[in-house]
Amino acid sequence: MTHSFFCANVLGDRARWARQRRFTVLQTEFDAGRLFIETWATWRADPQRCERLHFVAVWPLTTMVHPDVSTEQPTLSQMLIDAWPMHVTGMHRLEFENGRVVLTLAIGELESMLPKIWLRADAFYLRLSRVDAKLAYVAKALARVAGDQATLCAEAHPLLPQALKDAGFICDETPDGGYVKARFAPRWRVRRHEPPLALAIENGNAPPSAEFSKDAAAAFPSQTPRHAIVIGAGLAGCAITERLASRGWRVSLIERHDDLAHDASGNPAGVFHPIVWRDDSIAARLTRAGFLYALHRWSELERPGHTLNRSDRGLLQIADTTEDAHAIASAIKRFGLPASYVVAVDEHEATRLAGQPVARPGWFFAHGGWISPAAICAAQCEAAGDLLTIHFGTEVARIDRENGTWTAFDTSGRALAQAPVLILANAGDAQRLAVLHGLPTRGVRGQLTLLNSSPLDGLRVPIVGDGYAVPLGAHRTLTGATYDIDGIDTQIQPAGHTENLERVAMMLPALVGFEPTPETLEGRVAFRSVTSDRMPMIGALADETAARADAARLSGAWPLDLPRRPGLYGAFAFGSRGLVWSTLAAELIAAQVEGEPWPIERELAEAIDPARFLLRALRQGEFS
């Protein structure tokens, strides 16, 4: 099928995307970017184009190749090549045109990836090279995510019209019989849940967006700006602020401290890296997605000149045991992870990379490293520009929703801000404001130790394992951190310094025998929050009152069955992985608010759903 045929017959005269806030195309098998580039070029040339074009495509890892430079669209194809992701399975989100054109690549086999994608498609491009025996399955998968009157274009196939008809599509063959065109117009219920819609559409209480550029504002006039309240100005809150502002939202950011990035986000540096386990677990996949998306967004912040103060030599993880090192090396090979992502290293190579003798083998992340959390927060807030209003030194005592509007109140009962959307990004205090069942998060006290003129002065890259050591420059190394569940002591403890140094010494023998006086060491205490399953809380919060009242019916519920509190979201309980998870959390919440394609698979989103503990209680009959 020619790409011009798709643009002419599925996009048509583009009237369907004219002046729309978003338009989403799903391609079942990616073609190295050719259709995406033509669709992008068509969007560029249309003065009535939609504000945000989402293009989602499934691509098996085994057939994934770099796109070529198109002779017809050399500039766009080169931009795609420059943004090309690592060859690892999962969802990869690439952004162009200041975020107005978004390509989401779902890398994996079609039959496994299609059920994991969550979006509302306006148009489909169905390639049939690998799905002859699975047409009915594919057609039903497309119907699950099709928007009303979504159009479809495919090469003619004798079994395709009936498969589409059974799934709720109305088909028409083209005059030459070489292609099939269809639109989604089911005459009966074909799915259990409707695919995502923007909050404003679902609840009728949020006005159209204020656009984020003069050109967009002229094309998409709005009466009242979209507005969100974000509570907490650490890594989570600042990332959400930037992601919403990039979509034209005004943000009222409320912070109890007098500046950005306090608590754990105020540490002098933090390490960022994914995890590799013996199995490609939910946690491994989630950290991979978060790590790769964070690298992408940080590069986008640096492009206009924001300084993030991060290292660029990679990061070395030391195995706990030699057996673990061999097991992880085997897993890296088995999963086909590229060297640009991770490589197993023996003790000799690890010693060379570290610039210091190491105790055991490990694995090296070429794109891992350390970064300043405060610099990230500052850059994200600067990027939000005049769409951001910050309320510093303000404690939020309670939140309430009335007539479709959320209000945050201070300790005196004064209203601080009002908006149709409110996002809790305030770590351990979030569950109090949200009144979550069972208090699923717990506090963790962490103490850091700063070394001056130590045996670690020659360290070249951050070292992680049972503890970590980060070279911050000449004669200065950050080590840590203690992990004291439910600890509340705000004072630096000599025992914490001793613990930090002992754990680092188990990875870097040069520190063995180094015994500074703990009372003279510098340090810092910060508090994090974690859940019992060590996964974060990211997404829409449940309406727990409504769920309890309907507990019998919901005893066998799935996440999409649960009632939600309109406009209330959370991004907290990141534990020690705020750097890796916060940016992805912000993009997921922004996509949920806007009704856009989700940036991760549904099963990953369900693993971090703030309602998962309530769901577990319902399934176990705790409210019956």
Examine residue 437 and state whether it is found in any structural domain, yes or no: no
pLDDT band for position 219 (50/70/90)?
very low
pLDDT band for position 131 (50/70/90)?
low
Distance separating alpha carbons of residues 237 and 581, to the nearest angstrom: 12
pLDDT of 70 reads: 76
pLDDT of 207 reads: 34
pLDDT digits (tens, 9 = 90+) for 351-410: 999 999 999 999 999 999 999 999 999 999 999 999 999 999 999 999 999 999 999 999
User: Are both 261 and 310 inside the same structural domain?
Assistant: no
Q: Which amino acid is at 613?
A: F
Look up the pTM and report it: 0.94
pLDDT of 203 reads: 40
Q: For residue 384, is the peptide bond before it cis, meaning its omega torsion is within 30 degrees of 0?
A: no
Is the predicted pLDDT of residue 139 greater than 80, yes or no? yes
Query: What backbone torsions phi and psi does residue 79 show, to the nearest 5 degrees?
Result: -65, -40
CATH of the domain at 469: 3.30.9.10
Stretch 535-551: mean pLDDT: 96
Is the predicted pLDDT of residue 537 greater than 70, yes or no? yes
Examine residue 192 and state whether it is found in any structural domain, yes or no: no
DSSP letter string, 611-623: THHHHHHHHTTTT
Distance separating alpha carbons of residues 171 and 217, to the nearest angstrom: 37
pLDDT of 8 reads: 67
Buried b (16+ CB within 10 A) or exposed e, 401-426: beeebbbbbbeeeeebbebbbbbbbb
Q: Which amino acid is at 261?
A: A
pLDDT band for position 216 (50/70/90)?
very low
Chosen domain end from 131, 149, 184: 184
Stretch 159-188: mean pLDDT: 88
CATH of the domain at 557: 3.50.50.60
User: What residues contact residue 24 under an 8 Å CB cut-off, 6+ apart?
Assistant: 54, 55, 56, 119, 120, 121, 122, 123, 147, 596, 597
Chosen domain end from 531, 549, 579: 531
User: Are both 424 and 450 inside the same structural domain?
Assistant: no
Stretch 482-497: mean pLDDT: 95
The count of domains in the chain is: 3
pLDDT of 210 reads: 31
Domain that holds residue 154: 3-184
pLDDT of 370 reads: 98
User: Are both 232 and 338 inside the same structural domain?
Assistant: no
pLDDT band for position 10 (50/70/90)?
low
pLDDT of 5 reads: 64
User: Are both 354 and 232 inside the same structural domain?
Assistant: no
User: Are both 324 and 287 inside the same structural domain?
Assistant: no
pLDDT digits (tens, 9 = 90+) for 82-94: 999 999 999 999 9
Burial (CB count within 10 angstroms: exposed 0-12, middle 13-18, buried 19+), residue 260: buried
pLDDT digits (tens, 9 = 90+) for 370-381: 999 999 999 999
Examine residue 509 and state whether it is found in any structural domain, yes or no: yes
Share of residues in the chain with pLDDT > 90 (%): 79
User: Are both 231 and 349 inside the same structural domain?
Assistant: no
Is the predicted pLDDT of residue 144 greater than 70, yes or no? yes
Half-sphere exposure of 73 (CA within 13 A, CB side): 20
Chosen domain end from 470, 501, 531: 531
pLDDT digits (tens, 9 = 90+) for 419-442: 999 999 999 899 999 999 888 999
User: Are both 517 and 416 inside the same structural domain?
Assistant: no
Distance separating alpha carbons of residues 328 and 278, to the nearest angstrom: 6
Distance separating alpha carbons of residues 53 and 61, to the nearest angstrom: 24
Are the C-beta atoms of residues 311 and 371 closer than 8 Å to each other? Answer: yes
Is the predicted pLDDT of residue 204 greater than 50, yes or no? no
Distance separating alpha carbons of residues 212 and 231, to the nearest angstrom: 22
Stretch 221-242: mean pLDDT: 85
pLDDT band for position 192 (50/70/90)?
confident
- Average the pLDDT over each of 106-120, 180-194, 205-219, 547-561 and give the range with the smallest value: 205-219
pLDDT of 518 reads: 81
Ranked by mean pLDDT, the top range of 61-65, 193-197, 398-402 is: 398-402
Examine residue 436 and state whether it is found in any structural domain, yes or no: no
User: Are both 178 and 217 inside the same structural domain?
Assistant: no
Ranked by mean pLDDT, the top range of 11-15, 213-217, 317-321 is: 317-321
pLDDT band for position 206 (50/70/90)?
very low
Mean pLDDT of the chain: 91
CATH of the domain at 38: 3.40.50.150
pLDDT of 473 reads: 85
Is the predicted pLDDT of residue 69 greater than 80, yes or no? no
User: Are both 138 and 68 inside the same structural domain?
Assistant: yes
Stretch 50-73: mean pLDDT: 85
User: Are both 55 and 154 inside the same structural domain?
Assistant: yes
Taking the CA atoms of 115, 117, 121 and 123 in sequence, report the sign of the dihedral they define. negative
pLDDT band for position 222 (50/70/90)?
very low
User: Are both 501 and 450 inside the same structural domain?
Assistant: yes
Of 176 and 185, more confident:
185
Distance separating alpha carbons of residues 419 and 57, to the nearest angstrom: 34
Is the predicted pLDDT of residue 521 greater than 60, yes or no? yes
Distances (CA, A) of 189 to 141, 184, 440, 599: 14, 12, 37, 27
User: Are both 203 and 245 inside the same structural domain?
Assistant: yes
